[in-house]
C-alpha cells in the first residue's frame, strides 16, 4: 500500500504559522490515480523516450505527486520532446542554462543588483533616464532585521552592489530605460507573491523570483513585465531547484500566455478571450448571458483576473497547481516542442527532431477534441482556460441570476468562490461545456 494514499498535498507546501485563514486544498494524493514517482520513472524507456499518452491520462485522473511535479511540468509545457533521449535532453538543458547565464550577465552589466541576491522596491531611474539615488534595496525578507543578520561576505557584496546601483550613469537607450523602470515594480510584486508560504521567508528564493522576472522582462521587450507574471512564475521557483530550469519553464508558460499581458491604449491583452467567453456563455447559457448584458457586464471584464493569472487567486496554492497540470495534460500538443525549437532556429527546423509525425494518441483529451472538430484547419482553438471560466459561471448561474443586480454583485459572487473551487470539478465541467459548445456551434 502506498503510504501517501489520501494524503493532502498541502503538506508539501508549508504555510507560515501566522497565516491561519489559508484555504485548504481539495487535492489528495491517491494511489492508483495520482501520477507517482514510480509510475513516472517507469514511463521512460532505457534510452529516455517517454510514453506521454499514458502519462497524460494518469495526470488527468489524479494530478502529479508533488515530489516530481517540476520535472513533469517541463514536458507538459513543451520544454522537452517526449521522443528525445536522456542524452539529448541533457544537451538541451546545458545549452539553456548557458543561455540564461548569458542573459543574466547582460542584465547585471546594466544593473548590478541582478544576480546579487538583493532586489529593489523603489525606482532607480526616471523616465528621462536620470539615476535616482538610494533606492530601497531589500537585503532580507523582513527589512527590519537589517544588514547585521547577513554573513560578513554577503555584507561586502551587498555594499558593492549598492554602490554600483547608486553610481548609475544617465541612460539614453529607451529600451534600457523601459526595462529599468520595471525593476522596482517587480520587487514590489515579489514581496507580495505567495507570502503565506514558508518557502518565501528565505531571501534567496525571493531573489530568484526577482532575477527571473527581471531577465524575462529584458529578453521579451515587447511585453516586458506586468503584474500577474510573478503569480505565474512563483510555482516554477518552488518546483525546480535550478534557477535556469525554472526560468525556461516560466518562459514556456509565457509563450502561451504572453498575449494576456500585451496591452495597448485601446485594448487589454485578454480582450479576445473575454469576447470568446461572452460567445461561449451566449451559446451554452443564453439566459445568463442576457442577464449579464442587462446589468452592464457584456464585456465580461469581471473575468479578467481569472484569465490573466490562470485562477491563481480563485484556488488555493496547491489546487491551482493541480488545476494547471490537469489543464495542460488535456491541452497537450506533441508539436509544442518542435514549434518552440523551430522558432529559435535560424533554419526553421529543430535540430535532432526532424520529421516526427503528430499522433492523436499522444495528444491530450481536449486537443484530440479540437482535432476531431477541425479547429486546427480553421482558426486557433480556444484555450481551455476560457471554458474553465465558463464552467465557473455556469456553476454560479442560479446565484448570478437571482442575486446579481450590478457588476459589483457579479464580482462579489465570484470572489466568494476564492479558495473554494474544486479543480477536478472545474476541469470536468469545462470539458462538458467544450463539447456542448462545439455541438451547438455546428448547428448554428
Torsion of CA 162, 168, 174, 178, to 10 degrees: 20
pLDDT of residue 135: 63
* In the predicted structure, residue 262 carries a pLDDT above the cut 90: no
> How far is the C-alpha of 124 from the C-alpha of 168, rounded, in Å?
9
Prediction pTM value:
0.87
Instruction: Find, among 162, 210, 163, the residue nearest to 189 by Cα.
Output: 210
C-alpha cell at 348: 526553421
Q: Which residue has the cell 514558508?
A: 198
Structure confidence by residue, pLDDT tens digits, 382-422: 889 999 999 999 989 999 999 999 999 999 998 876 666 78
7 forms bridges with which residues in the sheet?
Answer: 29
> How far is the C-alpha of 320 from the C-alpha of 193, rounded, in Å?
14
pLDDT of residue 182: 95
**Do the beta carbons of residue 331 and residue 383 sit within 8 Å?**
yes
138 forms bridges with which residues in the sheet?
Answer: 119
pLDDT of residue 145: 36
At residue 137, φ and ψ (nearest 5 deg) are: -105, 120
Structural domains in the chain, CATH included, are 1-68+263-444 (no CATH), 88-261 (1.10.8.270)
Least confident residue range of 11-15, 207-211, 342-346, 378-382: 342-346
Identify the sign of the CA torsion 378, 384, 387, 389: negative
> How far is the C-alpha of 184 from the C-alpha of 119, rounded, in Å?
8
pLDDT of residue 151: 37
* In the predicted structure, residue 264 carries a pLDDT above the cut 90: no
> How far is the C-alpha of 65 from the C-alpha of 28, rounded, in Å?
9
C-alpha cell at 205: 528564493
Structure confidence by residue, pLDDT tens digits, 144-167: 333 323 333 444 555 555 555 555
* In the predicted structure, residue 209 carries a pLDDT above the cut 80: yes
For the chain, first and last CA: distance in Å?
A: 52
Least confident residue range of 84-98, 362-376, 421-435: 362-376
Cα–Cα distances in Å, from 318 out to 229, 301, 438? Answer: 18, 26, 31
pLDDT of residue 206: 96
pLDDT of residue 26: 81
**Do the beta carbons of residue 48 and residue 87 sit within 8 Å?**
yes
What does the pLDDT average to over 438-443? 78
Secondary structure class of 137 (helix, strand, coil): strand
* In the predicted structure, residue 99 carries a pLDDT above the cut 90: yes
Instruction: Find, among 77, 61, 63, 43, the residue nearest to 334 by Cα.
Output: 77
Instruction: Find, among 361, 332, 362, 360, the residue nearest to 76 by Cα.
Output: 332
| Overall size of the chain counted in residues | 444
* In the predicted structure, residue 125 carries a pLDDT above the cut 50: yes
What does the pLDDT average to over 270-274? 88
Torsion of CA 87, 247, 309, 329, to 10 degrees: 0
C-alpha cell at 194: 505567495
* In the predicted structure, residue 343 carries a pLDDT above the cut 90: no
- The model's confidence at residue 425, banded by pLDDT at 50, 70 and 90, is confident
Q: Which residue has the cell 558593492?
A: 160
pLDDT of residue 377: 47
What percentage of the chain has pLDDT greater than the value 70?
Answer: 81
> How far is the C-alpha of 256 from the C-alpha of 253, rounded, in Å?
5
Which residues, 6+ apart, have CB-to-CB distance to 307 below 8 Å? Answer: 260, 270, 273, 274, 277, 385, 386, 389
What does the pLDDT average to over 359-379? 72
- The model's confidence at residue 265, banded by pLDDT at 50, 70 and 90, is low
What does the pLDDT average to over 420-425? 80
Structure confidence by residue, pLDDT tens digits, 53-95: 999 999 998 999 999 999 999 999 999 999 999 999 999 999 9
* In the predicted structure, residue 20 carries a pLDDT above the cut 90: no
C-alpha cell at 429: 465541467
CB atoms within 10 A of CB 339: 12
Which secondary structure element, helix H or strand E, spans residue 45, and what is its range? none
- The model's confidence at residue 348, banded by pLDDT at 50, 70 and 90, is very low
Instruction: Find, among 231, 245, 253, 396, the residue nearest to 320 by Cα.
Output: 231
Q: What integer best gives the mean pLDDT of the chain?
A: 84
What does the pLDDT average to over 363-379? 72
Amino acid at each position: 500500500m502506498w503510504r501517501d494514499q489520501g494524503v493532502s498535498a498541502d503538506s508539501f507546501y508549508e504555510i507560515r504559522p501566522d497565516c491561519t485563514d489559508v484555504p485548504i486544498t481539495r487535492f489528495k494524493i491517491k494511489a492508483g490515480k495520482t501520477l507517482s514517482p514510480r509510475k513516472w520513472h517507469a514511463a521512460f524507456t532505457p534510452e529516455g523516450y517517454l510514453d506521454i499518452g499514458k502519462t497524460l491520462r494518469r495526470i488527468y485522473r489524479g494530478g502529479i505527486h508533488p515530489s516530481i511535479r517540476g520535472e513533469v511540468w517541463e514536458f507538459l509545457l513543451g520544454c522537452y520532446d517526449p521522443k528525445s533521449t536522456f542524452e539529448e535532453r541533457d544537451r538541451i538543458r546545458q545549452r539553456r542554462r548557458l543561455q540564461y547565464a548569458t542573459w543574466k550577465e547582460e542584465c547585471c552589466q546594466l544593473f548590478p543588483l541582478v544576480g546579487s541576491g538583493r532586489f529593489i522596491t523603489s525606482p532607480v531611474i526616471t523616465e528621462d533616464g536620470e539615476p535616482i539615488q538610494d533606492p530601497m534595496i531589500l537585503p532580507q525578507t523582513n527589512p527590519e532585521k537589517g544588514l547585521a543578520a547577513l554573513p560578513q561576505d554577503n555584507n561586502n557584496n551587498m555594499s558593492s552592489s549598492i554602490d554600483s546601483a547608486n553610481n548609475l550613469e544617465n541612460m539614453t537607450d529607451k529600451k534600457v530605460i523601459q526595462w529599468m523602470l520595471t525593476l522596482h515594480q517587480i520587487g514590489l510584486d515579489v514581496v507580495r507573491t505567495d507570502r503565506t508560504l514558508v518557502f518565501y521567508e528565505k531571501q534567496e528564493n525571493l531573489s530568484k523570483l526577482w532575477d527571473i522576472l527581471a531577465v524575462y522582462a529584458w529578453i521579451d521587450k515587447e511585453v516586458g513585465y506586468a503584474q500577474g507574471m510573478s503569480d505565474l512564475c512563483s510555482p516554477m521557483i518552488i518546483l525546480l531547484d535550478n534557477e535556469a530550469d525554472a526560468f525556461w519553464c516560466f518562459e514556456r508558460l509565457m509563450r502561451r500566455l504572453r498575449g494576456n499581458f500585451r496591452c495597448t491604449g485601446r485594448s487589454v491583452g485578454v480582450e479576445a478571450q473575454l469576447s470568446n467567453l461572452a460567445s461561449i456563455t451566449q451559446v451554452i447559457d443564453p439566459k445568463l448571458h442576457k442577464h449579464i448584458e442587462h446589468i452592464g457586464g457584456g464585456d465580461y471584464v469581471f473575468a479578467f483576473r481569472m484569465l490573466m493569472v490562470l485562477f491563481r487567486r480563485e484556488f488555493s496554492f496547491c489546487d491551482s497547481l493541480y488545476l494547471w497540470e490537469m489543464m495542460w495534460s488535456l491541452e497537450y500538443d506533441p508539436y509544442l516542442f518542435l514549434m518552440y525549437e523551430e522558432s529559435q532556429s535560424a533554419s526553421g527546423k529543430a535540430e535532432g527532431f526532424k520529421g516526427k509525425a503528430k499522433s492523436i494518441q499522444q495528444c491530450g483529451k481536449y486537443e484530440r477534441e479540437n482535432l476531431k472538430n477541425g479547429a486546427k484547419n480553421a482558426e486557433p482553438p480556444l484555450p481551455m482556460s476560457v471554458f474553465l471560466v465558463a464552467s465557473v459561471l455556469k456553476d454560479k448561474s442560479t446565484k448570478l441570476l437571482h442575486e446579481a443586480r450590478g457588476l459589483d454583485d457579479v464580482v462579489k459572487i465570484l470572489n466568494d468562490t476564492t479558495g473554494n473551487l474544486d479543480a477536478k470539478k472545474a476541469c470536468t465541467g469545462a470539458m462538458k461545456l467544450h463539447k456542448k459548445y462545439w455541438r451547438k456551434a455546428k448547428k448554428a
